[in-house]
Amino acid sequence: MSAPLLQAEGIRVSYGRIEAVRGVDLHVGAGEFVGVIGSNGAGKSSLMRAIAGVLSPAGGRVAFGGEDTTGQPSHRMVARGLAMVPEGRMIFADQTVRENLLLGGYSRLRSDPQGVAADEDRMLTLFPRLKERLAQEAGTLSGGEQQMLAIARGLLSRPRLLVIDELSLGLAPVILDMLFPVLAQLNKEGLSILLVEQMASYALSVTDRTYVMENGRMLFDGASRELANDPRVLDAYLGRRKAA
C-alpha cells in the first residue's frame, strides 16, 4: 500500500501556554477529498496552518509526498505542491484581480509562463465572474467573489493538495451552491482536497472521508456518507436527530 499524499502524526500547536491542537493524526490520500468539521475554536485552523507551514508545530510530524516536511515554511510547501486557501481569504485588496492570480502562480512564472497563462484562463472558466473583473481591485469584490479569487489564486500554483480553511465563512448559501460543485469537479479531475468547514452538511455532501475535531483533538472519523447519519454528528453538527 502506497503512503498517503499527506500524513500528519501527533500534531501539537501551542500559543504560549494554550495548547490549541493536542496530538492530532490525519491523512489524505492521492485524489481524496477529505473534510474536517467541528465547532468554532476546535483547533481546525491551527491544524491546517501547521500542515501548510504557516506556523511550526510544537510537536508531531508532517510528511508530504513521502518526505518529512515538519516545520517547513509555507512557500516551500507551495513549491512542493501544497497550497492553502486561508480562513478569511486573505486576498491582496489593493491589487487587481489579475495581479492576485499572477501572485498565485508566482513560483511558476519564470519556468512556465505559458502554463500559468493557460491555468489563468482555466480559472476564469471555472469562475466566470472574475473574468469581468480582472482590472478591478480585489478589495472591491463581494465576499463570494473574493472567495472565488482566493481559490483560483491557490490553484494557480498547480498544487497536488489544496487545503481550504473555512470555505463558507460569511458567505450566502447561493454562493456555496456555486463553489462546492466546482470543488467536486476539481477533485474528480484528480486534485486532492482537504477542507475545513463549520457547515457540516456541505462538507459531508462532497467529501470522501471526514474527521470530527473538538477541543484540539480528533474525536472520530469515517466515511462521510456514514457520518451524515451518525447520531453524534446529527446531534452536534447537523442540528437534527436520526429518526427512530
How high is the pLDDT of residue 37? 94
Helix and strand element counts for the chain (H, E): 10, 10
pLDDT of residue 1: 54
Domain map of the chain by residue range? 1-81+159-244, 85-158
pLDDT along the chain (244 residues), means of 10: 88 93 96 94 93 95 96 93 90 93 85 89 93 94 94 94 92 90 95 93 94 93 94 76 44
Identify the CATH number of the domain defined by range 1-81+159-244: 3.40.50.300
Q: What is the pLDDT of residue 168?
A: 87
Using alpha carbons only, give the angle 28, 122, 180 rounded to the nearest 5 degrees: 50
pLDDT of residue 237: 77
Radius of gyration of the chain (CA): 18
The per-residue pLDDT for 88 is 80
In this predicted model, what pLDDT tens digit does every residue of 118-170 receive, in sequence order?
A: 999 999 999 999 999 999 999 999 999 999 999 999 999 999 999 999 888 88
pLDDT for 242 equals 47
pLDDT of residue 240: 53
How is the chain split among helix, strand and coil, in percent rounded to 5?
40, 25, 35
> Is 232 exposed, middle or buried (CB count within 10 Å of its CB: 0-12, 13-18, 19+)?
exposed
Calpha distance 175→5 (Å, rounded): 30
pLDDT at 8: 97
* Model pLDDT, residue 199: 86
